[in-house]
Amino acid sequence: MSTPKLSTQHSALVIFAKAPIPGQVKTRLCPPLTPDEAATLHGSFVLDTLERTKAAVARFKLQLDRHLACAPSSTHVFFKIMQERQGVQLINQVGEDVGARMNQAFETLFARGYRHVVLVGTDVPSLPLEQYKQAFALLESNDLVLGPALDGGYYLIGLNRSIPDLFTDIPWSTKQVLARTQEKARALGLRSALTDLWRDVDTIEDLLALIDANALDAKKPKHEQVFSGRTTGALQLIAKRLRSRA
């Protein structure tokens, strides 16, 4: 692997993603989904996030580099294809838990000279493009930006410097993640701000809500639709299969 170059941009947007390997992604959806169905859906979400972040950069003329933080490894063929087709730079996720991996991603990019770094997950395929613009705008006057998720976690986090304490002693994958992170931010004297509340997709209830939102979206004129045709097809197929299994 070539030596990473120092940034010529001030800002970086990091998409935090796992390779779509059956049995290793979206496991909380299995059952009723099969591991293959969950992996296919996850892969579509990763593509959605890459495409929508690229669209946000173009629409709002954001001056930033996009990175894909990869697990289990940036050498996986899926990520190599994403690098070639989507124009993203690859970094590895490193750490024992999601907090350690996020902290390492921030440290890696700040070491390359970035001043503003926003990290987003791939479970928000319909997140409005304006939220990416808002996150970077909020970092101009805040130390920390969080995108609150409906389940008590967060789908996005932005920082202007490495702050490891934000990622330690957090009960990951619980309803306390956002509140505990905000408590730590207050204790550290950080100025913080929130983007809009959004629902990410972790449970079958989240998936059913997304299927309903997609059905409504599909009725809109083509130019107003948010969901990709790929994800719409996947959700429609999954909805049909869930009805047959019921």
Question: The CATH number of the domain where 130 resides is what?
Answer: 3.90.550.10
Question: Are the beta carbons of 1 and 9 closer than 8 angstroms?
Answer: no
User: pLDDT tens, 143-179?
Assistant: 999 999 999 999 999 999 999 999 999 999 999 999 9
Q: Is the dihedral of CA 86, 143, 141, 193 positive or negative?
A: positive
User: pLDDT tens, 177-194?
Assistant: 999 999 999 999 999 999
Q: Assign residue 17 a region: left if phi > 0, alpha if psi is -120 to 50, beta otherwise?
A: beta
What is the mean predicted confidence (pLDDT) over 60-70? 97
Both tokens assigned to 164? 């490891």
Domain interval for residue 29? 11-200
Grade residue 39 by pLDDT with cuts at 50, 70 and 90: very high
* Residue 213, in any domain of the structure: no
DSSP secondary structure code for residue 126 in this structure: T
Grade residue 246 by pLDDT with cuts at 50, 70 and 90: confident
For residue 6, the model assigns a pLDDT of 62
What is the mean predicted confidence (pLDDT) over 113-134? 97
* Residue 216, in any domain of the structure: no
Both tokens assigned to 159? 């920082």
* Residue 100, in any domain of the structure: yes
* Residue 239, in any domain of the structure: no
For residue 5, the model assigns a pLDDT of 60
66 φ, ψ (degrees, to nearest 5): -105, 135
Q: Measuring CA to CA, which residue among 65, 62, 80 is closest to residue 14? A: 65
* Residue 217, in any domain of the structure: no
Instruction: Give the predicted TM-score (pTM) of the model.
Output: 0.94
What is the mean predicted confidence (pLDDT) over 196-209? 97
* Residue 240, in any domain of the structure: no
Q: Which string of b and e fits 104-115 if b means at least 16 CB within 10 Å?
A: bbbbbbbebebe
Round to the nearest angstrom and report the end-to-end CA distance of the chain: 49
Grade residue 1 by pLDDT with cuts at 50, 70 and 90: very low
Q: Based on the structure, what is the number of domains in the chain?
A: 1
* Residue 170, in any domain of the structure: yes
* Residue 149, in any domain of the structure: yes
For residue 7, the model assigns a pLDDT of 58
Q: What is the mean pLDDT of the chain?
A: 96
Q: Measuring CA to CA, which residue among 127, 124, 159 is closest to residue 143? A: 159
